[in-house]
Amino acid sequence: MSNHAPGAPSPDRPLREWGRWSEISPDARRALVDRGIDSIYDATFRDDIVTIIEDVRARGDAAVLDALGRFDGCERADDGLRLSDQELDAGTAATSSEVLDALADAIAHLRRFNEKVCERGDWSFESDPGLVVGERVTPIESAGLFVPSGKGSFPSVLVQLAVPALVAGVPRLVVVVPPLPGGAGAVDPAVLAACQLLGLRDVFRVNGPAGIAALAFGTESIPKVRLVVGPGSPAVTCAQVEVQRFGTVTTMVLGPTESLIIADDSTDRRLLAFDLLNEAEHGSDSTSMLVTPSEGLVEAIQHEVAALLAQLPEPRRTYAADALGINGGAIVVADLEEAASVANAFAPEHLQLALGRPDAVLAQIRNAGEILVGQQTPFSSANYVLGCPASLPTSGFAKVSSGVTADTFRKRTAIASMTSEAMRRVTPSIVALARHEGFPAHVAAALARGE
């Protein structure tokens, strides 16, 4: 691009330049599309996580407390897992009024969005004379919400998980959150304040993988739940994958954050630079991509991003540099149609269409956790207050799954009824298929209705 050979980043050119999509090798494309999955399923890594899971399964609270000491440097007494009412109250007192107001704003928007989701409730219709079919929608009986802690304070994650569950009507919600770094066992006050605002009292300080296992199996202190949701590190994600073998359902996959922006020469370059850094600052395992048909835009945005990157404090500067320079970067495409094809292959968690005329590209997007249309809809607005889900599938799972909404916490039960006349009409079909598959009792049960 220009006179600079595509490749590794530098301080004044922080975006890795992948070159033209049509010229990227199959292996490089595969690395982009399958990002993060190998680490989750690495045999040695998985064995380490399974060891923790099996320990919690066998020893309950004792194993959870050991994990707190081993991984967080936090020594707690046997009754130290549950957050007390006094700690929850202190969290609210220690949280600024601005943050409390912002949490209330986010909760209100999320409630409105998820109440709309829940309007799609029970339904039925007569598919044949006398044959009525439909579904009944009910909440699951319990859910565990995992709120990450290691790289920062994330009360917004709790809100994004809890509000849909509450709107769905889940009878029991259990929150697990690792303690803040430092070893004293304190939990982020703003997360506790959010628990207070939402009326959540089953809140536990637990290390990530051990916390997932505790929710899956139950311990002396921590209730067992049917569904576990929440983003986290590869270790947390791996733990969620593994506990499914024991009957706990988890969402797939809420791993390290990722974003992709489709832009062209109509894009405001300064806003584009800000938005490229938005998700990039989450962590060194994050990914931030630019896809554009304009080589000139890539050249110009390098300098814009470099200037903004230099202003970030550590460790966010290093996180963002890695997300843009190692995991992400810039890809040049032939046109916006090819840009949509790249986005569908990548299936990003967050997708922004930073285009003057986004509608044609929007119509072509099939795989994305969320699609933000236009530069006045930045990732930060979606992360906090839009009301749309912000806990979204990563690592390409947007191809097969969706973000966390009230529907995540509801299940559907099919209901059907027939009159005797309707049963007589379908009996020949039942008998033909049952005889073909070798089930004489099926045949007899169907024919008995005609006697």
Is it the case that residue 92 has pLDDT exceeding 70? yes
Query: Does 411 reside within a domain?
Result: no
- Confidence (pLDDT) at 34: 76
Average pLDDT value for the chain: 92
Q: Which of 349, 421, 436, 437 is catalytic?
A: 349
Please check whether residues 235 and 292 belong to one and the same domain.
Answer: no
Is it the case that residue 1 has pLDDT exceeding 70? no
Q: What is the pLDDT of residues 420-449, one digit of tens each?
A: 999 999 999 999 999 999 999 999 999 999
Q: Tell me how far apart the alpha carbons of residues 110 and 295 are, in angstroms, rounded to a whole number.
A: 39
Please check whether residues 240 and 363 belong to one and the same domain.
Answer: no
- Confidence (pLDDT) at 371: 98
Q: What is the DSSP letter of 432?
A: H
Single residue among 250, 268, 288 that ends a domain in this structure: 250
User: Which of 37-46, 248-257, 390-399, 435-444 has the lowest average pLDDT?
Assistant: 37-46
- Tally of structural domains, the chain: 3
Pick the more confident residue, 123 or 78: 123
- Confidence (pLDDT) at 39: 56
Please check whether residues 87 and 177 belong to one and the same domain.
Answer: yes
Please check whether residues 199 and 239 belong to one and the same domain.
Answer: yes
> Quick one: pLDDT band at residue 451, thresholds 50, 70, 90?
low
- Confidence (pLDDT) at 36: 57
Single residue among 250, 276, 302 that ends a domain in this structure: 250
User: Span 264-279, mean pLDDT?
Assistant: 97
Query: Does 408 reside within a domain?
Result: no
User: Span 367-371, mean pLDDT?
Assistant: 97
Is it the case that residue 2 has pLDDT exceeding 60? no
CB–CB of 222/173 below 8 Å? no
User: Span 361-379, mean pLDDT?
Assistant: 97
Is it the case that residue 225 has pLDDT exceeding 70? yes
Q: Which of 350, 421, 436, 442 is catalytic?
A: 350
Please check whether residues 112 and 189 belong to one and the same domain.
Answer: yes
> Quick one: pLDDT band at residue 99, thresholds 50, 70, 90?
very high
Please check whether residues 147 and 217 belong to one and the same domain.
Answer: yes
Q: Tell me how far apart the alpha carbons of residues 110 and 161 are, in angstroms, rounded to a whole number.
A: 10
Q: Tell me how far apart the alpha carbons of residues 84 and 243 are, in angstroms, rounded to a whole number.
A: 28
Q: The domain that contains 150 carries what CATH number?
A: 3.40.50.1980
Is it the case that residue 335 has pLDDT exceeding 80? yes
Angle at 64 between CA 154 and CA 146, to 5 degrees: 25
Query: What is the amino acid identity at position 210?
Result: A
User: Span 261-267, mean pLDDT?
Assistant: 97
Query: Does 21 reside within a domain?
Result: yes
Please check whether residues 208 and 147 belong to one and the same domain.
Answer: yes
> Quick one: pLDDT band at residue 41, thresholds 50, 70, 90?
low
Is it the case that residue 40 has pLDDT exceeding 70? no
Burial 3-21 (b: 16+ CB within 10 A, else e): eeebeebeeebbbbbbbeb
- Confidence (pLDDT) at 3: 38
Is it the case that residue 33 has pLDDT exceeding 60? yes
Is 349 considered catalytic here?
A: yes
Query: Does 76 reside within a domain?
Result: yes
Please check whether residues 300 and 357 belong to one and the same domain.
Answer: yes
CB–CB of 369/403 below 8 Å? yes
Residue in this structure with the two tokens 């609210």, named with its chain if needed: 92
Query: Does 3 reside within a domain?
Result: no
Residue 166 sits in which domain range?
Answer: 43-120+136-250
Nearest to 380 by CA among 262, 272, 279: 279
Query: Does 406 reside within a domain?
Result: no
Is 299 considered catalytic here?
A: no
Please check whether residues 95 and 186 belong to one and the same domain.
Answer: yes
Please check whether residues 213 and 99 belong to one and the same domain.
Answer: yes
Single residue among 197, 216, 250 that ends a domain in this structure: 250
Q: What is the pLDDT of residues 101-142, one digit of tens each?
A: 999 999 999 999 999 999 989 999 999 999 999 999 999 999
User: Span 336-363, mean pLDDT?
Assistant: 97
3-state secondary structure at position 248: coil
Query: Does 69 reside within a domain?
Result: yes
Please give the share of the chain, as a percent, with pLDDT higher than 90. 80
Is it the case that residue 5 has pLDDT exceeding 60? no
- Confidence (pLDDT) at 57: 97
Please check whether residues 345 and 363 belong to one and the same domain.
Answer: yes
Please check whether residues 330 and 238 belong to one and the same domain.
Answer: no
User: Span 221-248, mean pLDDT?
Assistant: 92
Q: What is the pLDDT of residues 165-174, one digit of tens each?
A: 999 999 999 9
- Confidence (pLDDT) at 38: 63
> Quick one: pLDDT band at residue 184, thresholds 50, 70, 90?
confident
Is it the case that residue 77 has pLDDT exceeding 80? no
User: Which of 23-27, 95-99, 360-364, 418-422 has the lowest average pLDDT?
Assistant: 23-27
Query: Does 125 reside within a domain?
Result: no
Structure tokens at 332: 């040049």
Calculate the alpha carbon distances from 14 to 207, 299, 327 in Å. 34, 11, 12
Q: Tell me how far apart the alpha carbons of residues 189 and 180 are, in angstroms, rounded to a whole number.
A: 10
